[in-house]
Structure 1
Protein backbone atom coordinates (compact mmCIF):
# COMPACT_ATOMS: atom_id res chain seq x y z
CA UNK A 1 0.00 0.00 0.00
CA UNK A 2 1.36 3.43 -0.91
CA UNK A 3 1.81 5.61 2.18
CA UNK A 4 1.41 8.75 0.07
CA UNK A 5 -2.26 8.23 -0.66
CA UNK A 6 -5.47 7.21 0.97
CA UNK A 7 -7.19 5.27 -1.81
CA UNK A 8 -10.88 4.89 -1.28
CA UNK A 9 -12.69 2.47 -3.55
CA UNK A 10 -16.43 2.86 -3.76
CA UNK A 11 -17.71 -0.17 -5.62
CA UNK A 12 -21.24 -0.30 -6.93
CA UNK A 13 -21.75 -3.54 -8.81
CA UNK A 14 -25.00 -4.59 -10.40
CA UNK A 15 -26.29 -6.52 -13.38
CA UNK A 16 -27.94 -4.87 -16.34
CA UNK A 17 -31.12 -6.66 -17.26
CA UNK A 18 -30.36 -8.11 -20.67
CA UNK A 19 -29.68 -11.52 -22.10
CA UNK A 20 -26.12 -11.33 -20.74
CA UNK A 21 -25.44 -9.96 -17.23
CA UNK A 22 -22.96 -7.08 -16.98
CA UNK A 23 -21.10 -5.51 -14.08
CA UNK A 24 -20.41 -1.81 -13.66
CA UNK A 25 -17.88 -0.73 -11.02
CA UNK A 26 -17.39 2.83 -9.77
CA UNK A 27 -13.97 3.83 -8.44
CA UNK A 28 -12.97 6.93 -6.49
CA UNK A 29 -9.26 7.41 -5.77
CA UNK A 30 -8.25 10.07 -3.21
CA UNK A 31 -4.58 11.13 -3.07
CA UNK A 32 -2.92 13.32 -0.47
CA UNK A 33 -1.19 15.31 -3.22
CA UNK A 34 -4.63 16.70 -4.15
CA UNK A 35 -5.29 14.41 -7.11
CA UNK A 36 -8.67 12.71 -7.43
CA UNK A 37 -9.32 9.93 -9.95
CA UNK A 38 -12.87 8.81 -10.71
CA UNK A 39 -13.79 6.21 -13.30
CA UNK A 40 -16.33 3.55 -14.25
CA UNK A 41 -15.43 0.05 -15.39
CA UNK A 42 -17.76 -2.04 -17.54
CA UNK A 43 -17.15 -5.80 -17.19
CA UNK A 44 -13.59 -5.07 -16.02
CA UNK A 45 -12.75 -2.63 -18.84
CA UNK A 46 -12.42 1.14 -18.43
CA UNK A 47 -15.67 2.67 -19.68
CA UNK A 48 -15.38 6.32 -18.69
CA UNK A 49 -13.46 8.70 -16.49
CA UNK A 50 -13.90 12.26 -15.24
CA UNK A 51 -11.75 15.00 -16.73
CA UNK A 52 -11.88 17.53 -13.89
CA UNK A 53 -9.89 20.14 -15.81
CA UNK A 54 -12.40 20.18 -18.68
CA UNK A 55 -15.33 19.40 -16.39
CA UNK A 56 -16.63 16.59 -18.56
CA UNK A 57 -17.29 12.86 -18.67
CA UNK A 58 -14.97 11.10 -21.13
CA UNK A 59 -16.15 7.79 -22.59
CA UNK A 60 -13.35 5.40 -23.56
CA UNK A 61 -15.41 2.72 -25.34
CA UNK A 62 -17.03 2.77 -28.82
CA UNK A 63 -20.67 3.87 -28.88
CA UNK A 64 -21.71 0.78 -30.83
CA UNK A 65 -21.15 -1.51 -27.83
CA UNK A 66 -24.39 -3.23 -26.80
CA UNK A 67 -25.68 -2.06 -24.43
CA UNK A 68 -24.43 1.49 -25.07
CA UNK A 69 -22.75 2.57 -21.78
CA UNK A 70 -24.07 6.09 -22.31
CA UNK A 71 -27.60 4.73 -22.33
CA UNK A 72 -27.02 2.43 -19.37
CA UNK A 73 -26.05 5.41 -17.19
CA UNK A 74 -28.80 7.74 -18.39
CA UNK A 75 -30.31 9.65 -15.49
CA UNK A 76 -27.25 9.39 -13.24
CA UNK A 77 -25.69 12.70 -12.22
CA UNK A 78 -22.17 11.42 -12.91
CA UNK A 79 -20.37 14.75 -13.28
CA UNK A 80 -22.09 16.45 -10.33
CA UNK A 81 -21.42 13.44 -8.07
CA UNK A 82 -17.79 13.36 -9.24
CA UNK A 83 -17.21 16.95 -8.10
CA UNK A 84 -18.98 16.21 -4.81
CA UNK A 85 -16.69 13.23 -4.28
CA UNK A 86 -13.63 15.31 -5.20
CA UNK A 87 -14.50 17.76 -2.45
CA UNK A 88 -15.04 14.87 -0.06
CA UNK A 89 -11.64 13.47 -1.05
CA UNK A 90 -9.91 16.77 -0.26
CA UNK A 91 -11.42 16.83 3.20
CA UNK A 92 -10.64 13.19 3.88
CA UNK A 93 -7.00 13.34 2.79
CA UNK A 94 -6.41 16.55 4.73
CA UNK A 95 -7.69 14.94 7.91
CA UNK A 96 -5.68 11.79 7.19
CA UNK A 97 -2.44 13.75 6.78
CA UNK A 98 -2.98 15.56 10.06
CA UNK A 99 -4.06 12.54 12.11
CA UNK A 100 -1.78 9.89 10.65
CA UNK A 101 1.23 12.14 10.03
CA UNK A 102 2.07 10.67 6.67
CA UNK A 103 5.77 10.51 5.75
CA UNK A 104 7.00 12.27 2.59
CA UNK A 105 5.27 11.06 -0.54
CA UNK A 106 6.52 7.70 -1.76
CA UNK A 107 7.27 7.61 -5.48
CA UNK A 108 7.87 4.88 -8.04
CA UNK A 109 9.74 5.71 -11.27
CA UNK A 110 8.15 4.56 -14.53
CA UNK A 111 9.41 1.90 -16.91
CA UNK A 112 8.83 2.54 -20.60
CA UNK A 113 9.11 0.81 -23.95
CA UNK A 114 8.34 1.77 -27.55
CA UNK A 115 7.06 -0.50 -30.34
CA UNK A 116 5.00 -0.42 -33.54
CA UNK A 117 1.38 -1.53 -33.55
CA UNK A 118 1.78 -3.55 -36.77
CA UNK A 119 4.50 -4.88 -39.04
CA UNK A 120 6.32 -1.92 -40.53
CA UNK A 121 6.06 -1.34 -44.28
CA UNK A 122 7.51 1.69 -46.10
CA UNK A 123 4.88 4.27 -46.96
CA UNK A 124 2.10 2.45 -45.07
CA UNK A 125 0.50 4.32 -42.14
CA UNK A 126 1.18 2.73 -38.77
CA UNK A 127 1.24 3.60 -35.07
CA UNK A 128 4.04 3.78 -32.55
CA UNK A 129 3.08 2.97 -28.97
CA UNK A 130 4.98 4.24 -25.95
CA UNK A 131 3.94 2.06 -22.99
CA UNK A 132 4.71 3.57 -19.57
CA UNK A 133 4.21 1.33 -16.55
CA UNK A 134 4.70 0.90 -12.78
CA UNK A 135 4.77 4.59 -11.85
CA UNK A 136 3.42 6.49 -8.88
CA UNK A 137 2.01 9.08 -8.33
CA UNK A 138 -0.24 9.11 -11.42
CA UNK A 139 1.20 12.13 -13.13
CA UNK A 140 3.58 11.88 -16.11
CA UNK A 141 4.46 13.83 -19.23
CA UNK A 142 5.10 12.00 -22.51
CA UNK A 143 6.64 13.73 -25.54
CA UNK A 144 7.67 12.54 -29.03
CA UNK A 145 10.34 13.49 -31.55
CA UNK A 146 11.01 12.56 -35.18
CA UNK A 147 14.62 12.85 -36.32
CA UNK A 148 15.30 15.04 -33.29
CA UNK A 149 12.37 17.43 -33.83
CA UNK A 150 9.32 17.60 -31.52
CA UNK A 151 6.14 16.01 -32.85
CA UNK A 152 2.64 16.80 -31.60
CA UNK A 153 0.39 15.97 -34.57
CA UNK A 154 -1.07 12.47 -34.46
CA UNK A 155 -0.25 12.02 -30.76
CA UNK A 156 -2.80 10.68 -28.27
CA UNK A 157 -2.58 9.79 -24.59
CA UNK A 158 -4.72 7.28 -22.71
CA UNK A 159 -6.19 7.73 -19.25
CA UNK A 160 -4.17 6.48 -16.27
CA UNK A 161 -4.92 2.80 -15.63
CA UNK A 162 -4.38 1.24 -12.17
CA UNK A 163 -2.21 -1.82 -11.58
CA UNK A 164 -2.82 -4.35 -8.81
CA UNK A 165 0.09 -2.99 -6.75
CA UNK A 166 -1.43 0.52 -6.80
CA UNK A 167 1.02 1.83 -9.36
CA UNK A 168 -0.26 3.07 -12.70
CA UNK A 169 0.22 2.54 -16.43
CA UNK A 170 -0.47 4.67 -19.48
CA UNK A 171 -0.17 4.53 -23.27
CA UNK A 172 0.86 7.27 -25.67
CA UNK A 173 0.30 6.63 -29.38
CA UNK A 174 1.84 8.35 -32.40
CA UNK A 175 0.32 7.84 -35.86
CA UNK A 176 3.04 7.95 -38.52
CA UNK A 177 4.05 6.82 -42.01
CA UNK A 178 7.43 5.06 -41.84
CA UNK A 179 10.32 5.93 -44.15
CA UNK A 180 13.77 4.36 -44.28
CA UNK A 181 16.14 5.87 -41.72
CA UNK A 182 13.55 7.84 -39.72
CA UNK A 183 14.30 7.87 -35.99
CA UNK A 184 11.55 8.42 -33.41
CA UNK A 185 11.85 8.88 -29.66
CA UNK A 186 9.46 8.81 -26.74
CA UNK A 187 10.47 10.75 -23.63
CA UNK A 188 8.83 10.29 -20.22
CA UNK A 189 9.05 12.82 -17.39
CA UNK A 190 7.98 11.91 -13.84
CA UNK A 191 8.63 13.22 -10.34
CA UNK A 192 10.41 9.96 -9.38
CA UNK A 193 12.95 10.35 -12.22
CA UNK A 194 16.10 12.43 -11.76
CA UNK A 195 16.22 13.00 -15.52
CA UNK A 196 13.70 12.27 -18.31
CA UNK A 197 13.76 8.73 -19.70
CA UNK A 198 13.95 8.39 -23.50
CA UNK A 199 13.36 5.35 -25.71
CA UNK A 200 14.46 5.26 -29.37
CA UNK A 201 12.81 3.55 -32.34
CA UNK A 202 14.26 3.48 -35.89
CA UNK A 203 12.39 2.52 -39.05
CA UNK A 204 14.07 -0.51 -40.59
CA UNK A 205 12.87 -2.64 -43.48
CA UNK A 206 14.00 -6.07 -44.69
CA UNK A 207 15.31 -5.69 -48.22
CA UNK A 208 15.20 -8.37 -50.86
CA UNK A 209 17.71 -7.75 -53.68
CA UNK A 210 15.68 -8.53 -56.79
CA UNK A 211 18.77 -8.16 -59.00
CA UNK A 212 20.23 -11.37 -57.59
CA UNK A 213 17.56 -13.46 -59.32
CA UNK A 214 18.87 -13.19 -62.91
CA UNK A 215 22.46 -13.51 -61.67
CA UNK A 216 21.64 -16.74 -59.86
CA UNK A 217 19.89 -18.26 -62.87
CA UNK A 218 22.71 -17.13 -65.16
CA UNK A 219 25.29 -18.66 -62.83
CA UNK A 220 23.41 -21.95 -62.63
CA UNK A 221 23.06 -22.08 -66.44
CA UNK A 222 26.73 -21.35 -66.96
CA UNK A 223 27.68 -23.98 -64.43
CA UNK A 224 25.57 -26.63 -66.13
CA UNK A 225 27.05 -25.64 -69.50
CA UNK A 226 30.60 -26.04 -68.23
CA UNK A 227 29.66 -29.37 -66.67
CA UNK A 228 28.42 -30.55 -70.08
CA UNK A 229 31.65 -29.48 -71.80
CA UNK A 230 33.73 -31.23 -69.18
CA UNK A 231 31.71 -34.45 -69.50
CA UNK A 232 31.97 -34.43 -73.29
CA UNK A 233 35.73 -33.91 -73.12
CA UNK A 234 36.07 -36.79 -70.68
CA UNK A 235 34.34 -39.25 -73.01
CA UNK A 236 36.34 -38.05 -76.05
CA UNK A 237 39.64 -38.53 -74.22
CA UNK A 238 38.53 -41.93 -72.93
CA UNK A 239 37.56 -43.03 -76.45
CA UNK A 240 40.93 -41.97 -77.88
CA UNK A 241 42.80 -43.91 -75.20
CA UNK A 242 40.74 -47.01 -75.92
CA UNK A 243 42.04 -46.99 -79.52
Structure 2
Protein backbone atom coordinates (compact mmCIF):
# COMPACT_ATOMS: atom_id res chain seq x y z
CA UNK A 1 0.00 0.00 0.00
CA UNK A 2 2.91 2.40 0.65
CA UNK A 3 4.23 1.83 -2.86
CA UNK A 4 0.82 2.58 -4.37
CA UNK A 5 0.47 5.84 -2.47
CA UNK A 6 3.92 6.96 -3.63
CA UNK A 7 2.95 6.38 -7.26
CA UNK A 8 -0.21 8.41 -6.91
CA UNK A 9 1.59 11.30 -5.26
CA UNK A 10 4.04 11.47 -8.14
CA UNK A 11 1.14 11.58 -10.59
CA UNK A 12 -0.44 14.38 -8.63
CA UNK A 13 2.72 16.49 -8.87
CA UNK A 14 3.13 15.88 -12.59
CA UNK A 15 -0.38 16.66 -13.71
CA UNK A 16 -1.04 19.69 -11.57
CA UNK A 17 1.86 21.39 -13.31
CA UNK A 18 -0.29 21.63 -16.45
CA UNK A 19 -3.63 22.91 -15.20
CA UNK A 20 -5.88 23.55 -12.23
CA UNK A 21 -8.87 21.87 -13.90
CA UNK A 22 -9.84 18.87 -11.75
CA UNK A 23 -9.71 15.40 -13.25
CA UNK A 24 -9.74 11.91 -11.79
CA UNK A 25 -6.85 9.53 -12.20
CA UNK A 26 -7.17 6.08 -10.68
CA UNK A 27 -4.68 3.29 -10.04
CA UNK A 28 -6.79 0.16 -10.32
CA UNK A 29 -5.78 -3.25 -9.03
CA UNK A 30 -8.16 -6.14 -9.72
CA UNK A 31 -7.67 -9.30 -7.65
CA UNK A 32 -9.58 -12.37 -8.82
CA UNK A 33 -10.31 -15.69 -7.16
CA UNK A 34 -8.66 -17.68 -9.96
CA UNK A 35 -5.30 -16.10 -9.07
CA UNK A 36 -5.06 -13.53 -11.86
CA UNK A 37 -4.38 -9.84 -11.29
CA UNK A 38 -5.23 -6.78 -13.40
CA UNK A 39 -3.40 -3.47 -12.95
CA UNK A 40 -4.17 -0.31 -14.89
CA UNK A 41 -4.28 3.48 -14.73
CA UNK A 42 -7.47 5.33 -15.66
CA UNK A 43 -7.90 9.01 -16.50
CA UNK A 44 -11.50 10.21 -16.03
CA UNK A 45 -12.60 6.54 -16.04
CA UNK A 46 -10.79 5.83 -19.35
CA UNK A 47 -7.84 3.44 -19.48
CA UNK A 48 -4.44 4.98 -20.32
CA UNK A 49 -2.24 1.94 -19.58
CA UNK A 50 -2.38 -1.60 -18.29
CA UNK A 51 0.20 -4.15 -17.20
CA UNK A 52 0.59 -7.33 -19.25
CA UNK A 53 2.06 -9.82 -16.78
CA UNK A 54 2.45 -12.58 -19.38
CA UNK A 55 4.65 -10.39 -21.61
CA UNK A 56 6.13 -8.63 -18.58
CA UNK A 57 5.51 -5.13 -19.90
CA UNK A 58 3.43 -1.99 -19.55
CA UNK A 59 1.02 -1.40 -22.46
CA UNK A 60 0.02 2.21 -23.14
CA UNK A 61 -3.46 2.65 -24.61
CA UNK A 62 -3.60 6.46 -24.70
CA UNK A 63 -3.86 7.59 -28.38
CA UNK A 64 -0.57 8.83 -29.83
CA UNK A 65 -2.28 11.90 -31.31
CA UNK A 66 -2.82 13.07 -27.73
CA UNK A 67 0.55 12.03 -26.32
CA UNK A 68 3.43 11.20 -28.65
CA UNK A 69 5.42 9.36 -25.97
CA UNK A 70 3.23 8.39 -22.99
CA UNK A 71 6.15 6.59 -21.33
CA UNK A 72 7.61 9.97 -20.36
CA UNK A 73 4.54 10.75 -18.24
CA UNK A 74 5.24 7.69 -16.09
CA UNK A 75 9.00 7.88 -16.25
CA UNK A 76 10.83 6.88 -13.04
CA UNK A 77 7.56 5.74 -11.48
CA UNK A 78 8.37 2.01 -11.61
CA UNK A 79 4.91 1.11 -12.89
CA UNK A 80 5.73 -2.53 -13.60
CA UNK A 81 7.60 -3.13 -10.34
CA UNK A 82 4.75 -1.63 -8.32
CA UNK A 83 2.29 -3.78 -10.29
CA UNK A 84 4.28 -6.87 -9.32
CA UNK A 85 4.07 -5.84 -5.65
CA UNK A 86 0.31 -5.45 -6.02
CA UNK A 87 0.09 -8.86 -7.68
CA UNK A 88 1.95 -10.51 -4.81
CA UNK A 89 -0.43 -8.84 -2.34
CA UNK A 90 -3.52 -10.06 -4.17
CA UNK A 91 -3.48 -13.72 -3.15
CA UNK A 92 -3.40 -13.16 0.64
CA UNK A 93 -5.94 -10.36 0.27
CA UNK A 94 -8.38 -12.58 -1.62
CA UNK A 95 -7.94 -15.33 0.96
CA UNK A 96 -8.59 -12.83 3.74
CA UNK A 97 -11.77 -11.62 2.03
CA UNK A 98 -12.98 -15.19 1.62
CA UNK A 99 -12.60 -15.78 5.33
CA UNK A 100 -14.27 -12.48 6.21
CA UNK A 101 -17.26 -13.25 4.00
CA UNK A 102 -17.41 -16.94 4.99
CA UNK A 103 -16.27 -18.02 1.54
CA UNK A 104 -19.34 -17.11 -0.55
CA UNK A 105 -19.40 -18.19 -4.21
CA UNK A 106 -18.00 -15.63 -6.63
CA UNK A 107 -20.69 -13.36 -8.03
CA UNK A 108 -21.14 -13.72 -11.79
CA UNK A 109 -22.78 -11.65 -14.52
CA UNK A 110 -23.80 -13.26 -17.82
CA UNK A 111 -22.69 -11.53 -21.03
CA UNK A 112 -24.86 -9.71 -23.54
CA UNK A 113 -23.82 -9.78 -27.21
CA UNK A 114 -24.66 -8.13 -30.51
CA UNK A 115 -23.41 -8.90 -34.03
CA UNK A 116 -23.07 -6.27 -36.76
CA UNK A 117 -21.02 -5.42 -39.90
CA UNK A 118 -18.44 -2.64 -39.84
CA UNK A 119 -19.42 -1.24 -43.26
CA UNK A 120 -22.42 -1.17 -45.59
CA UNK A 121 -22.71 -4.67 -47.04
CA UNK A 122 -21.94 -5.23 -50.72
CA UNK A 123 -21.72 -8.75 -52.07
CA UNK A 124 -18.19 -9.64 -53.13
CA UNK A 125 -16.62 -6.73 -51.22
CA UNK A 126 -14.48 -7.51 -48.16
CA UNK A 127 -15.98 -6.40 -44.87
CA UNK A 128 -15.78 -7.35 -41.21
CA UNK A 129 -18.26 -8.54 -38.61
CA UNK A 130 -17.99 -7.44 -35.00
CA UNK A 131 -19.29 -9.50 -32.10
CA UNK A 132 -19.54 -7.08 -29.16
CA UNK A 133 -19.81 -8.86 -25.80
CA UNK A 134 -20.69 -6.70 -22.80
CA UNK A 135 -21.53 -6.67 -19.07
CA UNK A 136 -19.89 -9.95 -18.07
CA UNK A 137 -18.01 -11.04 -14.95
CA UNK A 138 -15.63 -12.71 -14.35
CA UNK A 139 -13.61 -11.44 -17.33
CA UNK A 140 -13.13 -14.74 -19.14
CA UNK A 141 -15.15 -15.62 -22.22
CA UNK A 142 -14.76 -17.83 -25.26
CA UNK A 143 -15.94 -16.51 -28.63
CA UNK A 144 -16.27 -18.78 -31.67
CA UNK A 145 -17.49 -18.15 -35.23
CA UNK A 146 -19.21 -20.22 -37.91
CA UNK A 147 -19.96 -19.70 -41.60
CA UNK A 148 -22.88 -21.73 -42.93
CA UNK A 149 -22.68 -23.93 -39.86
CA UNK A 150 -18.95 -24.66 -40.14
CA UNK A 151 -16.34 -23.36 -37.67
CA UNK A 152 -14.23 -20.40 -38.86
CA UNK A 153 -10.84 -19.40 -37.43
CA UNK A 154 -9.15 -17.58 -40.31
CA UNK A 155 -9.63 -13.80 -40.15
CA UNK A 156 -10.80 -13.90 -36.51
CA UNK A 157 -9.38 -11.58 -33.86
CA UNK A 158 -10.22 -11.02 -30.20
CA UNK A 159 -9.49 -7.84 -28.25
CA UNK A 160 -8.38 -7.79 -24.63
CA UNK A 161 -11.24 -7.25 -22.22
CA UNK A 162 -12.00 -3.73 -20.93
CA UNK A 163 -13.60 -2.72 -17.60
CA UNK A 164 -16.99 -1.05 -17.28
CA UNK A 165 -17.88 1.34 -14.49
CA UNK A 166 -20.01 -1.32 -12.75
CA UNK A 167 -17.01 -3.71 -12.44
CA UNK A 168 -18.18 -5.88 -15.33
CA UNK A 169 -16.24 -6.12 -18.59
CA UNK A 170 -16.66 -5.88 -22.37
CA UNK A 171 -14.74 -7.36 -25.29
CA UNK A 172 -14.74 -7.37 -29.10
CA UNK A 173 -14.23 -10.21 -31.55
CA UNK A 174 -14.04 -9.46 -35.28
CA UNK A 175 -14.23 -11.63 -38.39
CA UNK A 176 -12.88 -10.43 -41.72
CA UNK A 177 -15.02 -11.87 -44.52
CA UNK A 178 -16.38 -11.32 -48.04
CA UNK A 179 -20.19 -11.43 -47.96
CA UNK A 180 -21.99 -13.50 -50.57
CA UNK A 181 -25.72 -13.98 -51.07
CA UNK A 182 -27.07 -16.92 -49.09
CA UNK A 183 -24.24 -17.05 -46.55
CA UNK A 184 -24.99 -17.24 -42.83
CA UNK A 185 -22.60 -16.32 -40.02
CA UNK A 186 -22.83 -16.83 -36.27
CA UNK A 187 -20.96 -15.69 -33.18
CA UNK A 188 -21.16 -17.94 -30.11
CA UNK A 189 -20.20 -16.76 -26.62
CA UNK A 190 -19.39 -19.13 -23.76
CA UNK A 191 -19.14 -17.89 -20.17
CA UNK A 192 -19.34 -19.44 -16.71
CA UNK A 193 -22.46 -17.37 -15.88
CA UNK A 194 -24.38 -18.84 -18.85
CA UNK A 195 -26.29 -22.11 -18.57
CA UNK A 196 -25.53 -22.73 -22.26
CA UNK A 197 -23.60 -20.88 -25.01
CA UNK A 198 -25.29 -17.80 -26.46
CA UNK A 199 -25.32 -17.55 -30.26
CA UNK A 200 -26.06 -14.59 -32.51
CA UNK A 201 -26.79 -15.17 -36.24
CA UNK A 202 -26.24 -12.73 -39.10
CA UNK A 203 -27.12 -13.01 -42.80
CA UNK A 204 -25.78 -10.48 -45.34
CA UNK A 205 -28.19 -8.21 -47.17
CA UNK A 206 -26.53 -6.13 -49.86
CA UNK A 207 -26.85 -2.34 -49.62
CA UNK A 208 -26.36 -0.22 -52.78
CA UNK A 209 -23.25 2.00 -52.55
CA UNK A 210 -23.96 5.34 -50.91
CA UNK A 211 -27.18 4.22 -49.20
CA UNK A 212 -27.82 3.20 -45.65
CA UNK A 213 -26.40 4.52 -42.38
CA UNK A 214 -22.86 3.91 -41.32
CA UNK A 215 -22.51 1.80 -38.21
CA UNK A 216 -20.04 2.78 -35.62
CA UNK A 217 -19.36 0.98 -32.40
CA UNK A 218 -16.40 1.62 -30.17
CA UNK A 219 -15.17 2.67 -26.80
CA UNK A 220 -14.38 6.34 -26.48
CA UNK A 221 -11.10 7.31 -24.96
CA UNK A 222 -10.94 10.80 -23.55
CA UNK A 223 -7.61 11.65 -22.07
CA UNK A 224 -6.20 15.00 -21.00
CA UNK A 225 -2.92 15.98 -19.46
CA UNK A 226 -4.23 18.39 -16.85
CA UNK A 227 -4.88 18.63 -13.10
CA UNK A 228 -5.77 15.60 -11.08
CA UNK A 229 -7.89 14.53 -8.15
CA UNK A 230 -6.48 11.15 -7.27
CA UNK A 231 -8.61 8.12 -6.48
CA UNK A 232 -7.43 4.62 -5.63
CA UNK A 233 -9.51 1.54 -6.08
CA UNK A 234 -8.69 -2.02 -5.12
CA UNK A 235 -11.22 -4.31 -6.73
CA UNK A 236 -11.72 -7.62 -5.00
CA UNK A 237 -14.82 -9.16 -6.53
CA UNK A 238 -16.74 -11.13 -3.95
CA UNK A 239 -20.24 -11.62 -2.71
CA UNK A 240 -20.82 -7.87 -2.25
CA UNK A 241 -20.06 -5.47 -5.08
CA UNK A 242 -19.03 -1.97 -4.08
Shared fold per TM-score greater than 0.5: yes
Aligned to 2:178: 177
Q: 1:174 to 1:76 in 2, by over 3 A?
A: farther
Q: TM-score, normalised by structure 2?
A: 0.71
Question: Corresponding residue for 1:162?
Answer: 163
- The structure-2 alpha-carbon separation of the partners of 1:181 and 1:58, relative to structure 1 and needing over 3 Å to count, comes to farther
Bigger mean CA deviation after superposition, 65-74 or 104-113: 65-74
SS, match of residue 98 in structure 2 = helix
Separation in 2, partners of 1:148, 1:173? 17
Describe the shift of the 1:65–1:181 C-alpha distance in structure 2 as closer, same or farther (beyond 3 A): farther
Local SS of the residue matching 2:186: strand
> What is the CA distance between 1:114 and its match in structure 2?
0.5
**Which structure has the bigger radius of gyration?**
1
- Greater fraction helix: 1
Structure 1 partner of 2:192: 191
Q: What's 2:42 paired with?
A: 41
Distance 1:74 1:152 in 2: 40
| Residues 74 and 156 of structure 1, relative CA distance in 2, 3 Å threshold | farther
1:133-162 superposed Cα distances (whole Å, 9 cap, x missing partner) = 121111111122222232233322222222
C-alpha separation in 1, matches of 2:71 and 2:104: 41
**CA displacement 1:34-58 (0-9 Å, x = unmatched):** 2321112244322222222332323
Cα distance change, pair 149–18 in 1 and its aligned pair in 2 (3 A): farther
Aligned residues: 200
- Which runs of structure 2 are paired with 1:106-117 in the superposition (5 Å)? 106-117=107-118
Equivalent pair of 1:16/1:23 in contact (CA under 8 Å):
no
Instruction: Report the CA distance shift for 1:20/1:43 in structure 2 as closer, same or farther (over 3 A).
Output: farther
Say whether the 8 Å CA contact 2:120–2:207 is kept in structure 1: no
Unaligned runs of 5+ in 1: 1-8, 209-243
Distance 1:154 1:61 in 2: 26
Q: Distance in 1 between matches of 2:190 and 2:20?
A: 43
Is residue 2:149 matched to residue 1:148? Answer: yes
Contact 1:28 1:37 in 2 (8 A): yes
Structure 2 residue runs without a partner (length 5+) = 210-242
Which whole-Å CA distance do the structure 1 matches of 2:20 and 2:69 have between them? 14
* TM-superposed deviation, 1:93: 0.8
Contact 1:40 1:49 in 2 (8 A): yes
> Following the alignment from structure 1 to structure 2, what is the Cα–Cα distance between the partners of residues 141 and 16?
42
| TM-score, reference length from structure 1 | 0.71
8 Å Cα contact 1:32/1:97 also seen in 2:
no
Distance in 1 (alpha carbons) for counterparts of 2:146 and 2:16:
45
Cα distance in 1, alignment partners of residues 162 and 83 from structure 2 = 18
SS of the aligned residue for 2:55 comes to: coil
Counting only pairs closer than 5 Å after superposition, residues 88-99 of structure 1 correspond to structure 2 as: 88-99=89-100
Displacement of 1:67 in angstroms is 4.8
Structure 1 match to 2:73? 72
- Displacement, 1:26? 1.9
